Amino acid sequence: MKKYTSLTEIQGILAQKQLTVPELIAYYFSQIEKNQHLNAFNEVFFDSAKKQAELVQQKVDNGTAGRLAGMVIGIKDNICYVNHQVSASSKMLADFVSPYSSTVVERLLVEDAVIIGRLNCDEFAMGGSNETSYYGPVKNAVDEERVAGGSSGGSAVAVQADLCLAALGTDTGGSVRQPAAFCGCIGFKPTYGRISRYGVLAYASSFDQVGTLTSSVSDAALLLSILSGVDDADSTVSSLPVPNYTQDLGAGGTQRIAVLRETIENEALDPEIRTAILAAITKLTDQGHVVEYVSFDLLDYLVPAYYVLTTAEASSNLSRYDGVHYGYRNTQAESLNMLYKTSRAEGFGEEVKRRILLGTFVLSAGYYDAYYQKAQQVRRLIREKVEALFVDYDFLLSPVTPTPAFKIGENIQDPWSCTWPISIRFWPL
């Protein structure tokens, strides 16, 4: 069976009765089995996926199937699915079974997608190489000595290596877009609030956003249409109407595109990436689009502001994992204070502990104004700068990452290098 690159293709074959959904899920099971060494999946949902495939096939046969019938999709291991394990690739939650489903999972199932398993990621989504996972690093299918990117590395490799048609990831500062770039698939992070975060394990609540990884733009658009919209369980979701994004794909017309000059002229940008970006700009110009270079003088402040704000929120969000309520517990502790300390010290990995410490520091008395409040002010300035650019332009264009995928272990001793998935590519808000 060949690799399928879009849901439209699969649904056409299903309609011609040349394939069944159970046969499709069996194909992906075999693909996963052949590629276990990539370490993309933390768990494959053999039983529930088979049952779901049979139910979807019945709907296909009687003409009542949903819009995602035939889509086999993996979910990042920080997205809850009722009666299935979810661990955020952490020892802290290695045995935790979710008592409920996230909104995004519910919306997938309503439209008859088949969820095939939970995908490896950096622990609690903290990392840019998928090397901080309790279950080990994910390997890039193109070059197994190189990282998949992170934190949604398992999601990117699952699509890249044809282990499922599509995958869900989460993006806090580039964690869908960067691994998609490293693995050569389509990563899409919608604007904050477009998709519900209910049932997604929190890293930094004002940054986290569910995104998609696909092999086709049409699948990304369809998933966005289905996953978006108001959710009573998440008060941060936008109340704006949800367009039919698939209808706009072939709209055509001339677009005004701004290229962030500092990202192209930066000495840190890999020459091959610069060449590819410049070729893309030439192609856009040849197609009749207006492409202009603009300055984004706040670029140097993105990463520092991101780290101050996200680690502060992580310090708060991860305080719930205390060895008492749920998650890993040290059974040898002789006092409540020691229970807290030992459970968290043993349950969390080094990168997670590092970010908790940094976040606690910037929120502490005497440093809150100097770091956290100032970072919030910088964040506001960045937002205003982006909004001002969108007055004159339809798109902002830049490289997703400054370098190609690096080798596994190459940057692990330098937390700054291997854990900064800050994507600086902007699309309309």
Distance of alpha carbon 189 from alpha carbon 95, whole angstroms: 29
The reply to whether 133 belongs to the active site is: no
Average pLDDT of the segment spanning 324-334: 94
Residue 416 binned pLDDT confidence (cut-offs 50, 70, 90): low
All residues at 6 or more sequence positions from 401 whose CB lies less than 8 Å from its CB, including other chains: 149, 174, 178, 181, 182, 273, 421, 423
SS3 350: helix
pLDDT on residue 105: 99
For the cut 50, the answer to whether the pLDDT of residue 419 exceeds it is no
Our answer to whether residue 76 is catalytic in this structure is: yes
Of the two residues 415 and 369, the one the predictor is more confident about is: 369
**H or E element in which residue 72 lies:** strand 72-76
- Compute the mean pLDDT over every residue in the chain, rounded to the nearest whole number: 95
pLDDT, greater one: 247 or 195: 195
pLDDT of the residue at 252:
76
Q: Is the pLDDT of residue 422 over 70?
A: no
Extract the tokens encoding 307: 């780290």
The mean per-residue pLDDT over the stretch 232-240 comes to 97
Q: How far is it, in rounded angstroms, from Cα 275 to Cα 277?
A: 6
Q: What DSSP assignment string belongs to 287-314? A: TT-EEEEE--TTGGGHHHHHHHHHHHHH
Write down the pLDDT at residue 69.
Answer: 98
For residue 343, indicate whether it is catalytic: no
Among residues 90, 151, 216, 315, the one annotated as catalytic is 151
Q: Kindly report the number of other CB atoms within 10 A of residue 210's CB atom.
A: 27
pLDDT of residue 2: 73
Q: What's this model's pTM, rounded to 2 decimal places?
A: 0.95
Is the pLDDT confidence value at 429 over 60? no
Strands 209-214 and 186-188: antiparallel
Between residues 412 and 17, which one has the greater pLDDT? 17
Model confidence at 335, pLDDT cuts 50, 70, 90, reads very high
Confidence of residue 253 (pLDDT cuts 50, 70, 90): confident
pLDDT tens, 294-313? 999 999 999 999 999 999 99
- At residue 348, the pLDDT reads 98
Cα 349 to Cα 103, 123, 124, 129, 227: the distances in Å are: 28, 7, 10, 15, 31
Q: By percentage, how much of the chain surpasses pLDDT 70?
A: 96
Tell me the C-alpha distance between 59 and 74, whole Å: 21
How many other CB atoms are there within 10 angstroms of residue 306's CB atom?
22
Rounded to whole angstroms, what are the CA distances from 103 to 172, 191, 206, 219, 231? 18, 17, 18, 19, 8
The model's pLDDT over 42-82, given as tens digits with 9 standing for 90+, comes to: 999 999 999 999 999 999 999 999 999 999 999 999 999 99
Q: Residue 27 pLDDT more than 80?
A: yes
Q: 101-138, pLDDT tens digit by residue?
A: 999 999 999 999 999 999 999 999 999 999 999 999 99
Check residues 429 and 402 and name the one with the higher pLDDT: 402
Strand partners, 38: none
**pLDDT class for 1, splitting at 50, 70, 90?**
low
Cα–Cα distance measured from residue 338 to residue 334, given in angstroms and rounded to the nearest whole number: 7
Q: Catalytic: which of 87, 152, 155, 175?
A: 175
Q: Which residues contact 192 (CB under 8 A, 6 or more apart)?
A: 206, 207, 209, 236
pLDDT, tens only, 28-38: 999 999 999 99
